[in-house]
A and B are shown apart, each in its own frame.
Chain A
Amino acid sequence: MATILVHIALLAYTAGAAVFLTWLVRPSPGLVRAGRMLLLVGVVVHFAAFGVSLGVAGAGLGVKAWKGGELFSLLAAVTVTGYLLLDFRYELPVAGAFVGPFTVAVMVPAHLVHSNARAIAPEVSHSIALFVHVGAAAIGTAVLALAFGLSVLCLASERQMKEKRPGRLFARLPSLDLLDRAGYRLAVWGFVFLSLAIATGSLVSREVTGSPFPLAPKEGFAVLAWALFASLIQARLVAGWRGRRVAMLVVAGFVLLIGTYVGLLSAAPALRGTAA
Chain B
Amino acid sequence: MTLLCVGLSHKQAPIAVRERIAVPAEQVEGRLRQLKSLPGVREAMLVSTCNRIEIFAVADSRDAGEDVLETLGPVAAPHAVRRFEEEALRHLFRVTASLDSMVVGEAQILGQVKEAAAIAQQAGALGPELTKVLARATTAAKRVRTETEIARGAVSVSSIAVQLAHKLLGSLDGRTVLLLGAGEMAQIAARELRSQGAHELLVANRSPQQAEELAREVGGVPVSLAELPSLLERADVAICSTGAMEAVVTRELMARALKARRYRPIFLVDLTLPRNVEPSANELENVYVYDLDDLERVAVQNSDLRASQVAKAEEIVEQELKAFLLASRERTAVPVLARLRAHAESVARAEVEKTLASLQGLDEKQQKTVRAMASAIVNKLLHTPTSRLRTEAGRGPLGEATAALFGLEAEPEQPGEQASSEQAQAETAAEGAVLPLLRKR
Please list the residues of chain A having a beta carbon within 8 angstroms of any beta carbon in chain B: 157, 161-162, 164-166, 170, 173-178, 239-245
Q: What are 19 A-B pairs with beta-carbon distances under 8 A?
A: A157-B167, A161-B167, A162-B288, A164-B294, A165-B297, A175-B169, A175-B171, A176-B168, A176-B170, A176-B265, A239-B263, A241-B263, A242-B264, A242-B265, A242-B286, A243-B265, A244-B285, A244-B286, A245-B285
B282 close to A (CB within 8 Å): yes
* 9 further interface pairs, Cβ-Cβ under 8 Å (given A161-B168, A175-B168, A245-B285): A173-B167, A174-B170, A175-B167, A175-B170, A176-B167, A177-B168, A177-B169, A241-B263, A245-B263
B27 close to A (CB within 8 Å): no
A174 surroundings in chain B (CB, below 8 A): 170
- Whole-angstrom distance between the alpha carbons of A176 and B236 in the complex? 13
A240 surroundings in chain B (CB, below 8 A): 261-264
Q: B263 and A242: CB pair below 8 A?
A: yes
Q: B262 and A239: CB pair below 8 A?
A: yes
- Whole-angstrom distance between the alpha carbons of A175 and B297 in the complex? 19
Q: How far is the CB of A64 from chain B (nearest CB, A)?
A: 50
- Whole-angstrom distance between the alpha carbons of A178 and B168 in the complex? 9
Q: A178 and B170: CB pair below 8 A?
A: yes
Please list the residues of chain B having a beta carbon within 8 angstroms of any beta carbon in chain A: 164, 166-171, 261-265, 282, 285-286, 288, 290, 294, 297-298, 301
- Whole-angstrom distance between the alpha carbons of A160 and B286 in the complex? 13
Nearest 7 interchain pairs by C-beta: A240-B262, A175-B170, A164-B294, A177-B170, A243-B286, A178-B170, A240-B263
Residue in A162, A170, A239, A243 whose beta carbon sits within 8 Å of that of B282 in the complex: A162
Q: A161 and B288: CB pair below 8 A?
A: yes
Q: How far is the CB of A161 from chain B (nearest CB, A)?
A: 5
B301 surroundings in chain A (CB, below 8 A): 166
Q: How far is the CB of A86 from chain B (nearest CB, A)?
A: 16
Output the nearest chain A residue to B169 by Cβ-Cβ distance: A177
Output the nearest chain A residue to B170 by Cβ-Cβ distance: A175
Q: B168 and A164: CB pair below 8 A?
A: no
Q: B288 and A166: CB pair below 8 A?
A: no
Q: How far is the CB of B300 from chain A (nearest CB, A)?
A: 10
Max chain A Cβ within 10 angstroms of own Cβ: one of B171, B261, B286, B297: B286
Q: How far is the CB of A232 from chain B (nearest CB, A)?
A: 14
Q: How far is the CB of A233 from chain B (nearest CB, A)?
A: 15
Q: How far is the CB of B304 from chain A (nearest CB, A)?
A: 12
Q: How far is the CB of B38 from chain A (nearest CB, A)?
A: 40
Output the nearest chain B residue to A178 by Cβ-Cβ distance: B170
Residue in A166, A176, A239 whose beta carbon sits within 8 Å of that of B298 in the complex: A166
- Whole-angstrom distance between the alpha carbons of A177 and B175 in the complex? 12
Residue in A157, A166, A243 whose beta carbon sits within 8 Å of that of B285 in the complex: A243
- Whole-angstrom distance between the alpha carbons of A189 and B308 in the complex? 50
B290 surroundings in chain A (CB, below 8 A): 164
- Whole-angstrom distance between the alpha carbons of A105 and B33 in the complex? 73
Output the nearest chain B residue to A241 by Cβ-Cβ distance: B263
- Whole-angstrom distance between the alpha carbons of A176 and B288 in the complex? 12
A241 surroundings in chain B (CB, below 8 A): 263
- Whole-angstrom distance between the alpha carbons of A243 and B167 in the complex? 14
- Whole-angstrom distance between the alpha carbons of A175 and B264 in the complex? 14
Q: How far is the CB of A175 from chain B (nearest CB, A)?
A: 3
- Whole-angstrom distance between the alpha carbons of A241 and B259 in the complex? 10
Output the nearest chain A residue to B287 by Cβ-Cβ distance: A162
- Whole-angstrom distance between the alpha carbons of A223 and B301 in the complex? 47
- Whole-angstrom distance between the alpha carbons of A173 and B168 in the complex? 10
Output the nearest chain B residue to A160 by Cβ-Cβ distance: B167
Output the nearest chain A residue to B288 by Cβ-Cβ distance: A161
Output the nearest chain B residue to A175 by Cβ-Cβ distance: B170
Output the nearest chain A residue to B164 by Cβ-Cβ distance: A161
Q: How far is the CB of A93 from chain B (nearest CB, A)?
A: 16
Output the nearest chain B residue to A168 by Cβ-Cβ distance: B301
A165 surroundings in chain B (CB, below 8 A): 297
Q: How far is the CB of A225 from chain B (nearest CB, A)?
A: 24
Q: How far is the CB of A150 from chain B (nearest CB, A)?
A: 14
- Whole-angstrom distance between the alpha carbons of A175 and B167 in the complex? 4
Q: B265 and A164: CB pair below 8 A?
A: no
A177 surroundings in chain B (CB, below 8 A): 168-170, 265
Output the nearest chain A residue to B236 by Cβ-Cβ distance: A177
B166 surroundings in chain A (CB, below 8 A): 175
- Whole-angstrom distance between the alpha carbons of A239 and B285 in the complex? 14
B297 surroundings in chain A (CB, below 8 A): 164-166
A245 surroundings in chain B (CB, below 8 A): 263, 285
B288 surroundings in chain A (CB, below 8 A): 161-162
B264 surroundings in chain A (CB, below 8 A): 240, 242
- Whole-angstrom distance between the alpha carbons of A173 and B261 in the complex? 25
A243 surroundings in chain B (CB, below 8 A): 263, 265, 285-286
A175 surroundings in chain B (CB, below 8 A): 166-171
- Whole-angstrom distance between the alpha carbons of A252 and B320 in the complex? 62
Q: How far is the CB of A89 from chain B (nearest CB, A)?
A: 14
Q: How far is the CB of A178 from chain B (nearest CB, A)?
A: 5
- Whole-angstrom distance between the alpha carbons of A137 and B298 in the complex? 43
A161 surroundings in chain B (CB, below 8 A): 164, 167-168, 288
Output the nearest chain A residue to B293 by Cβ-Cβ distance: A164
A176 surroundings in chain B (CB, below 8 A): 167-170, 265
Q: B298 and A164: CB pair below 8 A?
A: yes
Q: How far is the CB of A155 from chain B (nearest CB, A)?
A: 13
Q: How far is the CB of A108 from chain B (nearest CB, A)?
A: 35
Q: How far is the CB of A244 from chain B (nearest CB, A)?
A: 6
- Whole-angstrom distance between the alpha carbons of A166 and B164 in the complex? 10
Q: How far is the CB of A92 from chain B (nearest CB, A)?
A: 12
Q: How far is the CB of A25 from chain B (nearest CB, A)?
A: 16
A164 surroundings in chain B (CB, below 8 A): 290, 294, 297-298
- Whole-angstrom distance between the alpha carbons of A157 and B169 in the complex? 12
B263 surroundings in chain A (CB, below 8 A): 239-243, 245
Q: How far is the CB of B381 from chain A (nearest CB, A)?
A: 68
Q: How far is the CB of B155 from chain A (nearest CB, A)?
A: 15
Q: How far is the CB of B134 from chain A (nearest CB, A)?
A: 35
- Whole-angstrom distance between the alpha carbons of A7 and B294 in the complex? 49
- Whole-angstrom distance between the alpha carbons of A52 and B301 in the complex? 52
- Whole-angstrom distance between the alpha carbons of A176 and B164 in the complex? 10
- Whole-angstrom distance between the alpha carbons of A118 and B167 in the complex? 49
- Whole-angstrom distance between the alpha carbons of A241 and B263 in the complex? 6
- Whole-angstrom distance between the alpha carbons of A157 and B164 in the complex? 12
- Whole-angstrom distance between the alpha carbons of A178 and B170 in the complex? 7
A166 surroundings in chain B (CB, below 8 A): 297-298, 301
A244 surroundings in chain B (CB, below 8 A): 285-286
B168 surroundings in chain A (CB, below 8 A): 161, 175-177
